[in-house]
A and B are shown apart, each in its own frame.
Chain A
Amino acid sequence: MGFARTLRHAGVPATPDRVQAMVVALGHLDVASPADTYWAGRLTLCGDPADLDRYDAAFAAYFGGAGAPAPRPRPAAVRLRAVPLDDRDGGGADPGDGSTRTTLASRQEVLRHRDVSTLSAAERDEVRRLLALLAPQVGRRRTRRYGPASRGAVDLERTVRRMLHQGGEPSRLARRARRRKPRRLVLLADVSGSMEPYADALLRFAHAAVRVTPFNVEVFTLGTRLTRVTRELRRRDPDAALEAAGAAIPDWSGGTRLGDALKAFLDQWGQRGAARGAVVVLCSDGWERGDPTLLGEQVARLARLAHTVIWVNPHRGKPGYEPVTGGMVAALPHIDHLVAGHNLAALEQLVRVIGQS
């Protein structure tokens, strides 16, 4: 069916089984009515609020706009205005002496401390390989669910079940305790121009985290708009995952309005549950084009929702760094840890901070 192909092109997941469902749905409705065709398709082919806009556009394109009901209110899609960012030094300045450490140290040890923005192509490949080996895992929390335990309250159900097995004879008491589950980990990566040299390493770090616990990690990128890349990063191969994520991010190396993008995250995901009780890692250099007070407010809101807020600032690892940029100053009172993320050793440190929180 031509319409399905148009939809798939537009990014709506019109899989064969969904298309079949649409045909069945149309069988129950009036095929000649454009409105019925519209609803039959929308109800069966879409699976996400983000699909609805794409569906409407594809429907209008394919059926010539005839009969599609008037656009109705739907979830606000974030589309922040792009703000041109003046050409700042992207933090790519060579730290110079950082590369010449003791001659005895192994090549890897040197690499671990090299700023990722200053690597040659071969060194970058090596670092990427090492990055893929990181296994960020989050601390655990108690859940409502009970599980068998060697000590704790008496588990009536299991005790009685055990009795039944033995023909009603009382036996050893079974005990239970609350189970423990890892906290959710949310990674928010700034992909604006000033973070460009670090974005690749940070997304690879995110990929490593997603690989460890695929359904416990959420990854978003912040730039001129908010993009969820968790699904893309679930691919096994790091390069394929990064490529998919790159294709999904419309605002690589653009400007940034950190406050607005963070607000979009909190409105659409964070407050509803993604950030509640989670460990949130925000990777940004804190350069804020918008109003720093908005960023401060939003970080405070995030801190109230989340269990721990960790800010990763690549510049923190540089000698003489002070958090003086407007955004950093506004956010600083609300964050739990400020860590560097400019080289492999710093990212390993981040793994430890995440693990302990």
Chain B
Amino acid sequence: MDAAVTDPAALAAALDRTGYLPDEGLATAAFLALRMHRPLFLEGDPGVGKTSLATALAEVLDARLVRLQCYEGIDAAQALYDWDFPRQVLHLRAAETAGHRDADELERSLYDRRFLVARPILQAIEHAPSVLLVDEIDRADDEFEAFLLEVLADNAVTIPEIGTIRASTPPLVVLTSNRTREVHDALKRRCLYHWVAHPTYEREVAILRRRQPEVAERLTRDVARVTAGLREADLLKPPGVAESLDWAQALHLLGARSLDVENAAATLGAVLKYHEDAVRVRETVLAELIGA
């Protein structure tokens, strides 16, 4: 798609310019997905930047981002295409009043492209180049996975009444999963699999600096260090990068220049989303982490 992307390092630099800082593994994964025309399957804890990678990639490739949010019970009519029934009926009535007689002709006009409502997958195939983000595939049912597999395999959608719509350039597909359910092997086999880990301390500082340059540098470092400590603290829900960004922002808005026990305790709700976690951290490790 983009001729400038010649190796993983070039892609990493391009992503960097959009404000997304990938590590080596993620950059290699995205590069190979582009080159091999394979879907990229990203797993990892919530809040590590799986979804934002797709947004950043779309920006780098100057492609349209089409997002398909999965949920339980999603089916082909919501993911692929649907007919606009009310408009079809209207058309039919109008033809009737106009005294239309040719039944075949009428039927053909009824299944015209203009009565087709394109849902995310069809949109991604019609509007090349595009990045198709299939978000939280683990929430959809197994049957939906099988259906997705079929579409991804030939990058084309067949509509019985119209014919096959094929992508001029296959969309770059990014699938994300939070591992609430194990996704079927058949789907994984066709993808490049990457586990997105929490960033290292240095990378997290870099991400925070990049996203929120207005926050004091001292505070940024404190937040990154304590968040990294919290991830080791055996919590119900370890904070991701999204949470550390929120936290730094919250502290900044309170006018903090560095992290101390009082302002940390007051803003803990930005990082820890479980009451049990907040109580435990406040009572035990917080002072130690900040003092360290």
Binding site for B on A (CB under 8 A): 13, 15, 17-18, 21, 24-25, 28-30, 35-36, 39-40, 42-44, 46-49, 52, 69, 72-75, 143-145, 156-157, 160-161, 163-164, 167-168, 215, 267, 271-274, 276, 301
Shortest C-beta distance, A218 to chain B (Å), equals 9
- Would A167 and B38 be within 8 Å (CB), given that A17-B189, A273-B181 are in contact? no
Apart from the given pairs A44-B192, A46-B193, A73-B197, 10 other A-B contacts in the complex at a CB distance below 8 Å: A21-B38, A40-B32, A42-B25, A47-B189, A49-B179, A73-B198, A160-B86, A272-B178, A272-B179, A273-B180
Closest B residue to A51 by beta carbon equals B193
Contacts of B189 in A (CB 8 A): 15, 17-18, 47
> Does residue B24 face the partner (Cβ distance < 8 Å to A)?
yes
Contacts of B110 in A (CB 8 A): 164
Contact indicator B197/A273 (Cβ below 8 Å): no
> Does residue B112 face the partner (Cβ distance < 8 Å to A)?
no
Contacts of B71 in A (CB 8 A): 144
CA distance A13 to B189 in the complex (A): 10
Shortest C-beta distance, B144 to chain A (Å), equals 11
Contacts of B86 in A (CB 8 A): 160
Q: List 12 A-B contacts (CB under 8 A).
A: A24-B36, A28-B31, A39-B28, A39-B29, A43-B25, A47-B185, A47-B189, A69-B25, A75-B45, A157-B85, A164-B92, A267-B236
Contact indicator A47/B193 (Cβ below 8 Å): yes
Choice from A13, A25, A74, A271 contacting B36 with Cβ under 8 Å: A25
Closest B residue to A297 by beta carbon equals B276
Shortest C-beta distance, B137 to chain A (Å), equals 12
Q: Which of B72-115 contact A (CB under 8 A)?
A: 72-73, 75, 85-86, 88-89, 92-93, 96, 110
Shortest C-beta distance, B81 to chain A (Å), equals 14
Contacts of A271 in B (CB 8 A): 236-237
> Does residue B169 face the partner (Cβ distance < 8 Å to A)?
no
Contacts of A15 in B (CB 8 A): 189
Contacts of B96 in A (CB 8 A): 168
Contact indicator A28/B89 (Cβ below 8 Å): no
Contact indicator A74/B195 (Cβ below 8 Å): yes
Closest B residue to A157 by beta carbon equals B85
Contacts of A75 in B (CB 8 A): 45, 195, 197
Contacts of B252 in A (CB 8 A): none
> Does residue B200 face the partner (Cβ distance < 8 Å to A)?
yes
Contact indicator B194/A43 (Cβ below 8 Å): yes
> Does residue B138 face the partner (Cβ distance < 8 Å to A)?
yes
Contacts of A160 in B (CB 8 A): 85-86, 88-89
Contact indicator A168/B89 (Cβ below 8 Å): yes
Contacts of B180 in A (CB 8 A): 272-274, 276
Contacts of B198 in A (CB 8 A): 73
CA distance A26 to B38 in the complex (A): 14
CA distance A145 to B78 in the complex (A): 12
Contacts of A168 in B (CB 8 A): 89, 92-93, 96
- Would A144 and B28 be within 8 Å (CB), given that A43-B192, A160-B89 are in contact? no
Contacts of A29 in B (CB 8 A): 7-8, 28, 31-32
B9-38 vs A, CB cutoff 8 Å, 1 = contact: the mask equals: 000000000000001110011011001101
Closest B residue to A228 by beta carbon equals B182
Shortest C-beta distance, A15 to chain B (Å), equals 7
CA distance A168 to B200 in the complex (A): 63
Contacts of B35 in A (CB 8 A): 28
Contacts of B45 in A (CB 8 A): 75
Contact indicator A43/B181 (Cβ below 8 Å): no
Contact indicator A43/B197 (Cβ below 8 Å): no
CA distance A52 to B195 in the complex (A): 9
> Does residue B126 face the partner (Cβ distance < 8 Å to A)?
no
Contacts of B28 in A (CB 8 A): 29, 36, 39-40, 43
> Does residue B43 face the partner (Cβ distance < 8 Å to A)?
yes
Closest A residue to B198 by beta carbon equals A73
> Does residue B188 face the partner (Cβ distance < 8 Å to A)?
yes
Choice from B85, B139, B194, B197 contacting A164 with Cβ under 8 Å: B85
Shortest C-beta distance, B219 to chain A (Å), equals 23
Contacts of B43 in A (CB 8 A): 49
Shortest C-beta distance, A323 to chain B (Å), equals 26
Shortest C-beta distance, B201 to chain A (Å), equals 10
Contact indicator B142/A143 (Cβ below 8 Å): no
CA distance A43 to B71 in the complex (A): 26
B269-280 vs A, CB cutoff 8 Å, 1 = contact: the mask equals: 000000000000
CA distance A17 to B185 in the complex (A): 13
Contacts of A274 in B (CB 8 A): 180-181
Shortest C-beta distance, B118 to chain A (Å), equals 17
CA distance A167 to B92 in the complex (A): 8
Contact indicator B32/A43 (Cβ below 8 Å): yes
- Would A43 and B193 be within 8 Å (CB), given that A160-B86, A161-B85 are in contact? yes
Q: Which of B197-242 contact A (CB under 8 A)?
A: 197-198, 200, 236-237
Closest B residue to A45 by beta carbon equals B193
Contacts of A44 in B (CB 8 A): 192-193
CA distance A156 to B83 in the complex (A): 13
CA distance A164 to B192 in the complex (A): 44
Contacts of B36 in A (CB 8 A): 21, 24-25, 28
Contact indicator A273/B24 (Cβ below 8 Å): no
CA distance A72 to B198 in the complex (A): 9
Contact indicator B24/A43 (Cβ below 8 Å): no
Closest A residue to B103 by beta carbon equals A167
CA distance A10 to B291 in the complex (A): 43
Contacts of B88 in A (CB 8 A): 160, 164
Contact indicator B72/A144 (Cβ below 8 Å): yes
